[in-house]
Chain A
Amino acid sequence: MIRVNPALNTVVKNVWSTVGSVLSNLRQPGKGSSMLVGVLLVTTLAMSAANLLLPVDSPLYVSTYTITLMGKYLCFAMLAMAVDIIWGYCGILSLGHGAFFALGGYGMGMYLMRQIGDRGVYGNPDLPDFMVFLNWQELPWYWSGMDQFWFAVLMALAVPGLLAFVFGWLAFRSRVTGVYLSIMTQALTYALMLAFFRNEMGFGGNNGLTDFKDILGFDLQSDATRVGLLLVTTLLLVIAILTSRAIVQSRLGRVIVAVRDAEARSRFLGYRTEHYKVWLFVYSALIAAVAGMLYVPQVGIINPGEFSPLNSIEVVVWVAVGGRGTLYGAIVGALLVNYAKTRFTAIMPDGWLFALGALFVIVTVYLPQGLAGLLQRFSGDKPEQAAGRELDSDASNGVSGREANA
């Protein structure tokens, strides 16, 4: 028998209940992502200030390397959220979202390439180095206009958006679902990878696009630009989170979950489920493209490797680790797994894939709801109670309760 000191017992109980209430607070619809938005803003602002304002030898100084690493993680987080929207909420397991990310990235890369101007190795004012190297005489037609920032951004959104629309329209209209759809998305990204590897495509082939100098006139190597890019990334991520949350909490979001859980039932209620799927897929692809656009100036390169099927599968692991269908889970999952990856590859570069595989298996077996599910279990809050409470709490507003937790 173990004697427990009663005083200690109450203290422990109190601590437990405080932790429990914090956690259950987090579980309330919308709370998780609000808190995450706050944390993201505070962290990145603090990091930026520490980089720009503190002297290099200060213990609190944040290196520009760290700033850029954080920016990269946030791009991955945005990509993970895009996958969560389509997988977690609508049950469409896309194993090809890396394709939309990479296309967005290539759009931005083309702009950055044109900004190099005559500062390239060959000093050609119009042609990027790799084209001079291939003995091309003039810019291919699809490169024209890409020296304009607005046009490049437009293209970087329009191309992946259109691809997602056509792909989704064909797939969902023919009612392709489940594993077949996942295989199709893999094939899509794989085909694009092969295409972009070819030199004749005019996207730099194997080497991709790199050696960027500046963006909108700002030197890409300067600390201030790096910090600026991190802040823009954070801002856009926050906007994406808030927009997505508004979507999943609207009736549209409820229809999407309904389609995920009982598609036939939704159809017989009069919903054109394929339309819902197509538009959600396009929305998700656009977010992935924005993430890709932000990623390229920060890492300084885009190559066909970004289309690799493995990349897209990795994103799915991030989402699974964080927890599907919560938005914030995907973001937290992406940040944690990528941090782990950075750490792990520094020690054992070859072991990462095995670690990732093991992680996926462990999460699938022991944590089917991911870390967000763990949170839910600890807070001991049943979802229906949370929904009910929300409904009670804004009774003035009538019923606008939302069970989709985001």
Chain B
Amino acid sequence: MNSLNEFTGQARELMRRDTTWPFLVPRRRSPDVSKNVILYLEGLSVSFDGFKALNDLNLYVNDGELRCLIGANGAGKTTLMDVITGKTQCDSGSAWFGQNIDLLAHDEAEIAQLGIGRKFQKPTVFEAHTVFHNLELSLQGSKGVWSALTAKLSGAERDRIDEVLNIIGLEKARFQMAGALSHGQKQWLEIGMLLAAEPRLLLVDEPVAGMTAEETERTAELLTSLAGKHTVIVVEHDMEFVRSIARTVTVLHQGSVLAEGTMDQVQNNRDVIEVYLGEEA
């Protein structure tokens, strides 16, 4: 009798309308970070019509780190993100997520599902959707056509959206069309979309471009608070901003790493000074 009850209980659990069967939920492969390194980039080269946007680039990023990438315009920072996220094929080199996942063998959608989120240089949100739905679409979970057709928000997912809205300070704008947000708010929404997906690694391209001083400060706080739980790579031009968040800074120049270290070390590095001579950095 008891076992029968147990069985019906289990059967009912299996038939619950508000959940998906566990075996249908794609298992997210997680990167093996036993060596404490989450991203291995070795000998990456990319050329566009003979122009080397990345030139034998080597970069290692530790798990939970907040890393700043700086470099002049055209140094290859965005291209580097394109390679990591599968948008651009590289000519040579290797890119590993943890010790076990070869990023070059996956496409954009798979890499996103593996837990690498990306914010574009130009803020990109779904303008015809509300803030809420922008976050809904970003939630972690199955991204297949069929599951989208039958998807229903679970309580946990709704809580997650509320949590993210809270973090990015857009609770009041939840039902506003994303297209009607200010530039800074769009930047935040896009960061929120990354957070909703709960990625292991966040690539953030120029997050404070076009933000007011106050917004910039809040963004700095947010990014610092994310480090630890997530690994964050930030590309930024604003040196003041970089100084306020960075522990380790990597300087890119003409597609390869010129220097790496703390902000002070980098600023006193002779190569960096030479390259930036006459510039404010």
Chain A interface residues (CB < 8 Å from chain B): 247, 250-252, 254-255, 257-258, 260-262, 264-273, 275-276, 279, 383-384, 387-388, 391, 398-401, 403
Contacts and interface: CB of A to CB of B under 8 A. Distances in A.
A267 B108 contact: yes
A250 B149 contact: yes
Contacts of A388: 130, 175-176
Given A265-B125, A275-B144, A399-B132, A252 B149 contact: yes
Contact of B129 (A257, A391, A399): A257
Contacts of B176: 384, 388
Interface in B145-160: 145, 148-151, 153, 158
B177 A258 contact: no
Interface stretch (B1-9, B37-45, B116-124): B116-124
B137 A267 contact: no
B171 interface: no
A272 B109 CA distance: 6
Nearest to A399: B132
A387 B144 contact: no
Given A252-B149, A384-B175, 14 more contacts: A250-B148, A254-B129, A261-B126, A262-B125, A264-B87, A264-B108, A265-B125, A267-B109, A267-B112, A269-B193, A273-B109, A388-B130, A399-B153, A403-B133
A374 B177 CA distance: 20
Given A251-B151, A271-B143, A257 B177 contact: no
Interface in B167-211: 175-177, 180, 193, 197
Contact of A403 (B113, B124, B128): B128
B130 A387 contact: yes
B180 A384 contact: yes
Interface residues of B, number: 37
Nearest to A392: B175
A403 B130 contact: yes
A401 B175 CA distance: 9
The 6 closest A-B pairs by CB, nearest first: A270-B112, A388-B175, A252-B148, A251-B151, A252-B149, A267-B108
B177 A384 contact: yes
A405 B149 CA distance: 17
B163 interface: no
A272 B147 CA distance: 12
Contacts of B215: none
A387 B158 CA distance: 18
B30 to A, nearest CB: 15
Per DSSP, chain A at the interface is helix
Contacts of A250: 148-151
A1 to B, nearest CB: 39
**Most A Cβ at <10 Å: residue of B128, B132, B193, B197:** B128
A383 B138 CA distance: 22
Contacts of A401: 130, 132-133, 175
B136 interface: yes
A270 B196 CA distance: 12
B124 A262 contact: yes
A270 B113 contact: yes
A61 to B, nearest CB: 46
Contacts of A275: 144-145
11 contacts: A252-B149, A252-B151, A254-B136, A255-B148, A258-B126, A258-B137, A262-B125, A264-B124, A268-B117, A272-B109, A279-B145
Given A271-B109, A271-B143, A398-B153, A265 B148 contact: no
B127 interface: yes
Contacts of B180: 384
A178 to B, nearest CB: 18
A398 B118 CA distance: 29
B137 A269 contact: yes
A251 B180 CA distance: 21
B112 A383 contact: no
B177 A255 contact: no
Contacts of B113: 270
A358 B112 CA distance: 46
Contacts of A269: 112, 137-138, 143, 193, 197
B109 A270 contact: yes
Given A268-B108, A270-B109, A384-B180, A257 B148 contact: no
Nearest to A265: B124
Contact of A258 (B109, B110, B129, B175): B129
Contacts of A270: 109-110, 112-113, 143, 197
Contacts of A384: 130, 175-177, 180
A268 B112 contact: yes
**Most B Cβ at <10 Å: residue of A265, A268, A276, A391:** A268
